[in-house]
Amino acid sequence: MKYLSYIGSHQGVLRGFVRYFKYIFLSLAVAFFFYYIYLSRSEIWKIISTANYWYLVLAWAAWLPVHFVSPAFTKIVIQGMGEKFHYVKALDIHATYVPAKYLPGGVWHTVARVTILHRMGFSRKKISSIVFLENLFAPVVSISLGSAFLIFHVVGETKLILMVLSLIISLSALLVGYMAIGKFVLIFESSVSFRRYVRLFFVTALFWVFSSVSFLLFLHAFSSEVIVSSWFEVVGVYLYSWGVGFLAFFAPQGLGVFEVVAANLLSADMPVQSLIVILALFRFITAMADLSFWLLWLLVRNIVLLNTRLCRHLLTTSDLGDN
């Protein structure tokens, strides 16, 4: 008990250390990106200048649907608690605070959503179950699907063993997560049935389908001589790298980690440092898609939805019992 008391009394110090460590890593990652740009500036410019910009537009468009999938996850979890919760309300909470994703630290979108749910009357324990499941499914599903794809495409015994272990560990994590929710009902105030748990898996997989298509279109914008990986390999690399980046708690939104892992797994006819910079451009595409979706949602919300009686009620009420 004295060790738990010691940890509890120093939680503020630990959180402060992690926060400053993230800032330091972010600064170093950005510095290295600019360094790589300088080293490979001629080759990078040649690749970008010959890119098919229509595919970049398609990659931007393919990213937009992911914002309609994420609220479905929240809706399924909350309904599993026995609460009534409309999809439109979940979508509004998600969409309204999309820009918060890009605040320093990378956690403020989640913080904003949690704050709104708490104001609606959800207990901290129920909110904890939502956050727990979101942070479980996002990386575990991406790593499991990514490693499953890459098992058939990686070259080398070491990489093959790594993918097999990643698949086993990620699937085991899903099983342990389901057992944890069922066993610690008093902690989470939530009980997710196996059927609902499977639905959460498929909703998360759908999210990765849209995001993978966006990434495929992004890479297709560049010369086929640059990226020689097959489509399945590209999807596997994207999913696996994103999951690893998510688990790297010291890297806000996996910045730097995703690019380095992906660059070392992709088959490409270019230096790794140049490929890292190209992959970093995908973040710009998704950021523009996020901003576009947010602006479009504000337009639809204020002009269309708020003039519809049912939607106006769903979007403006803050009482848990009415949703």
Give the integer Cα–Cα distance in Å for 263 and 274: 9
Contacts 24+ apart (CB under 8 A), 103-107: 104/23, 104/26, 104/252, 105/19, 105/22, 105/252, 106/22, 106/252, 106/253, 106/255
Give the integer Cα–Cα distance in Å for 34 and 44: 12
Give the integer Cα–Cα distance in Å for 19 and 21: 5
pLDDT in tens, 1-47: 443 343 344 445 445 544 554 556 456 555 655 555 555 556 656 66
Name every residue whose Cβ is closer than 8 Å to that of residue 140 and which is 6 or more positions away in sequence. Answer: 170, 173, 174, 177, 243
Give the integer Cα–Cα distance in Å for 127 and 122: 7
Residue 36: its pLDDT value, please? 54
**Distances in Å between the alpha carbon of 188 and those of 87, 94, 294?**
22, 22, 31
Residue 5: its pLDDT value, please? 44
205 alpha-carbon distance from chain centroid = 12
Low-confidence ranges of the chain (pLDDT < 70): 1-49, 104-106, 182-191, 223-228, 250-251, 254, 304-323
DSSP state of 156: S
pLDDT in tens, 68-112: 999 999 999 888 777 778 888 899 899 988 988 887 666 788 888
Model's pTM, two decimal places? 0.80
Give the integer Cα–Cα distance in Å for 237 and 150: 7
Give the integer Cα–Cα distance in Å for 180 and 136: 11
Give the integer Cα–Cα distance in Å for 129 and 117: 12
Which residues pair with residue 227 across a beta bridge?
A: 268
